[in-house]
Amino acid sequence: MSNVYNVAVVVGSLRKASINRKVALALAELAPANLKLNIVEIGELPLYNEDIDGDSPPAAYSTFRQKVGSSDALLFVTPEYNRSVPAPLKNAIDVGSRPYGKSVWSGKPGAVISVSPGAIGGFGANQHLRQSFVFLNVPCMQQPEAYLGGAGTAFDDAGKLNESVKPFLQSFINAFGEWVAQHKK
Ligand SMILES: Cc1cc2nc3c(=O)[nH]c(=O)nc-3n(C[C@H](O)[C@H](O)[C@H](O)COP(=O)(O)O)c2cc1C
């Protein structure tokens, strides 16, 4: 039997009705058998400040670092805010990257899907995240790139995924399953 990898899923929106969260949950349903997706929450993380970090960091920092650090792979599902990465997500990335030399991101295979009701599918956030991944040593899946635009209609009022979006999400998460397996060899 092949290995099963735990994927820490980070959602860039804190909204209860977030489309990105719905996409993350849909991806968890569609994931191939070698991936187990779990959302790691970021909403309670205090804004990163070195003065409160160090020997006794806030409990929320420690919990977050433990959850991401013990995962095998990373999946980022995010909207775009002002053509870039939403502040809560950037904050989570910063929290996970410290203390210096102990980043919980380093070496874990990752992927990003950006989701927006707008036409260009959060391209700016997606690309800016990839820039951070280079420095954070996160080998990010290059293809397929995933920009889900027009996402206002991706789910019906009952929260069911639109069938027309399903193949796109399925091919993305299948490719990610292969990417993770390749990096874990
Ligand atoms: C502060 C802010 C900035 C935004 N900037 C962008 C943007 O640059 N590009 C875009 O496509 N949508 C932008 N939006 C709209 C979001 O894509 C939209 O609110 C989306 O539903 C957020 O994702 P969510 O449903 O997962 O919360 C912005 C929304 C907010 C609140």
Asked whether the bond before 144 is cis by omega within 30 degrees of 0, the reply is yes
- Note the pLDDT of residue 57: 97
Mean pLDDT of 114-140: 98
How far is Cα 172 from Cα 143, in angstroms, rounded to an integer?
8
pLDDT of residue 185: 84
As a residue count, the chain comes to 185
78 lines ligand 1 (CB under 6 A): no
Q: What is the pLDDT of residues 79-95, one digit of tens each?
A: 999 999 999 999 999 99
Q: Is residue 1 over pLDDT 70?
A: no
**What's the gap in Å between 116 CA and the centre of ligand 1?**
6
> In the chain, pLDDT over 70 holds for what percent of residues?
99
Atom number in ligand 1 closest to CA 122: 11
- Asked if the model's pLDDT at residue 140 lies above 80, the reply is yes
- Contact criterion met (CB below 8 Å) for 78 and 86: yes
3-state DSSP assignment of residue 152: helix
pLDDT tens-digit series, residues 25-45: 999 999 999 999 999 999 999
Q: Does 8 score more than 80 pLDDT?
A: yes
pTM above 0.85? Answer: yes
State the pLDDT confidence band at 141, using cuts at 50, 70 and 90. Answer: very high
Q: 101 pLDDT exceeds 80?
A: yes
Q: What is the pLDDT of residue 54?
A: 87
Check if the beta carbon of residue 147 is closer than 8 Å to that of residue 79.
no
Q: How far is the CA of 29 from the centre of ligand 1 (A)?
A: 24
Mean pLDDT of 141-170: 97
What value does the mean pLDDT take over residues 152-174?
97
Among 10, 82, 112, which residue has the most ligand 1 atoms within 8 Å of its CB, making it the best to mutate?
A: 82
What integer best gives the mean pLDDT of the chain? 97
Q: Which of 15, 20, 81 has the most ligand 1 atoms within 8 A of CB, as the residue to mutate?
A: 81
Compute the average pLDDT of residues 100-120.
97
Cβ of 82 closer than 6 Å to ligand 1, yes or no, is: yes
Judged against a pLDDT cut of 60, whether residue 173 lies above it is answered with yes
Whether the pLDDT of residue 2 is over 80: the answer is no
Other CB atoms within a 10 A radius of the CB of residue 85 amount to 28
The encoded tokens of residue 173 equal 């998460």
- C-alpha distances in Å from residue 41, one per residue of 20, 75, 134, 150, 168: 13, 13, 23, 25, 25
Q: Measure the CA angle with vertex 174, ends 32 and 25; round to 5°.
A: 65
